[in-house]
Structure 1
Amino acid sequence: MYDYFWTHAIISDEIHEGIITNCNFSEAGTITEACDDYTYQADVARSNIFFYDIYAPLCSSFSNSTPSISEFDPCTENYIGSYLNIAAVQQSLHAKPGYWESCNDSIRDNWTDMPFTVLPVIQDLMASGISVWIYSGDTDGRVPVTTSRYSIDKLQTSVTTPWYPWMYEDEVGGYVVGYQNLTFVTIRGAGHFVPSYQPARALAFFSSFLEGKLP
C-alpha cells in the first residue's frame, strides 16, 4: 500500500464567490443570467493568452522564433493534430479512419461523474495517514498556484514547514510548503504539463515524492 498520493488536477471549482453563489453546473438548464455574467467576467480577465502557459506566445508563424519562458512550443497541439490525421499513421495505430485530435472537448464537457471538488477525498486520505502531495507549475493558468492555495486553505490543516525555495542545479526550482499530511510544491517556469515544460525540475520533484521527503 502506498503511503503517498499526489495530484495536479483541479482540486475544487468552489473558489470564485460569485460563481459559487450563482452557478450550478451540475444541473442542466439551471445556468442563470448572473452566472453567465460572472463566468464572462472571468473570461475577460483571462484575455487572449495561451492558458496552459501564461507567458508563452500564441501559436503563430512566429512561435518558433519567440519561445516561451520554458521554451515550450505553443503550437504543439497543432502538430499532434496534423500527425494523427495522416492516413498512414492512423493505419499503423489501427485507429478508425477519421478526424482525430489531441483532446476531445465535447466528450470532456459531457462527463457526468466528475465532482466539482475532491477536497473530501483528500481529507479522508490525510486522516488515514496518507501523505498527499499537490503540485502546480507557476505559469499554468488552467490549474494556477493561487487556486491550489485557496483550495488547500479550505482543508484547514496546519503548516509544519513554512514556504521555502527548493533548489535544482544551484537555482530555484520552485517553492514548497509542508502541512500536516500534505505537501504543496510549485515548479518554476512550468506550465500545465509540468514535465513537458521543465523535465529536469519535474524529475527532481518526482524523485523527492518517491523518496518521501521535501525537495
Structure 2
Amino acid sequence: MGYLQSHLTITTPSQKLLPSTDKVTTTYQKQYTDMTPFIKKIVKNHARVLVYYGDTDMECNFTMGQQFADQLGLRRTLKKTPWKSDRQIAGFKTVFDGLSFITIRGAEHMAPQWRVPQMYYAVQQFLLNHPL
C-alpha cells in the first residue's frame, strides 16, 4: 500500500490505475461544468479552500481561475499580492473569506510535479492556517 493510500485510509484500490491513453481522452465524460455550488457549500460550512493554478498553463489558464474566485461573491480580505518561497517570488495570492487563490510561478498544469518546493510550502502554510 502506498504512502498516500495509507494516509487517506484507502485499503484497496477500486480499480487498477493505468497510464493515460487516447482511449481515456476520447471517452472521458465531464460530470460537472461548474464547481461554484460545491465551493460555496464548502466555504459556507466553514472549511477553507485553496485553489492554485500554474501561471504558464494554457489549458487551465490562471486568469480563468482568478475570475472563478472573484465571481464566488466571497469578501476579499487581501488583494492580489506576490507570495514567496525561499525568499523568491513563487506566484501571486488573492485571499477571500474561506478561500485562497494562488498562482505558481513558472508552473504548468502539473504544478505539484514541476514546482515541488513551492507547492509543498504553499500547501503546508495552508494546512497550518499560516499566511503565505
TM range (shorter): 0.7 to 0.9
2:129 is aligned with 1:212: yes
Cα 1:112–1:145 shift into 2, 3 Å: closer
Q: Output the CA distance in 1 between the equivalents of 2:29 and 2:54.
A: 28
Indicate yes or no: 2:131 matched with 1:131.
Answer: no
CA distance in 1, matches of 2:131, 2:25: 34
Could you tell me which residue of structure 2 aligns to residue 66 of structure 1?
A: none
Structure 1 gaps, min length 5: 1-100
Let me know the Cα RMSD of the aligned residues. 1.8
Cα shift at 1:169: 1.9
* Residue type of the alignment partner of 1:138: D
Query: How far 1:206 sits from its partner (Å)?
Result: 1.5
- Structure 2 stretches of 5 or more lacking a match? 1-17
Structure 2 counterparts to residues 162-201 of structure 1, below 5 A: 162-201=79-118
TM-score by length of 1: 0.50
Alignment-derived partner of residue 102 in structure 1: 19
Q: Which runs of 4+ in 1 moved over 4 A?
A: none
Q: What is residue 141 of structure 1 aligned with on the other side?
A: 58
Name the SS for the 1:133 alignment partner. strand
Secondary structure of the structure 1 residue equivalent to 2:42: helix
Q: Does residue 1:115 correspond to 2:24, yes or no? A: no
Distance 2:25 2:99 in 1: 29
Structure 2 residue matching 1:125: 3-state secondary structure: helix
Of stretches 104-113 and 171-180 in structure 1, the one that deviates more from structure 2 is: 104-113
Specify the SS of the correspondent of 1:148: helix
Q: Any idea what the Cα deviations from partners look like across 1:17-42, whole Å, max 9, x if unmatched? A: xxxxxxxxxxxxxxxxxxxxxxxxxx
Residue aligning to 1:158: 75
Cα distance change of structure 1 residues 115 and 191 upon mapping to structure 2, 3 Å threshold: same
**Amino acid of the structure 2 residue aligned with 1:149:** Q
CA distance in 2, matches of 1:171, 1:165: 10
Deviations 1:50-94 (A, max 9, x none): xxxxxxxxxxxxxxxxxxxxxxxxxxxxxxxxxxxxxxxxxxxxx
**1:180/1:109 Cα in 2 relative to 1: closer, same or farther (>3 Å)?**
farther
Q: 1:108 offset after TM fit, Å? A: 4.2
* CA distance in 2: counterparts of 1:205 and 1:152, whole angstroms: 18
Aligned counterparts of 1:113 and 1:195: Cα–Cα separation in 2:
23
AA in 2 matched with 1:166: W
- In structure 2, what residue type is equivalent to 1:200? P
Deviation (angstroms), 1:127:
0.8
1:73 aligns with none
Please report the TM-score for the alignment, with normalisation by the length of structure 2. 0.78
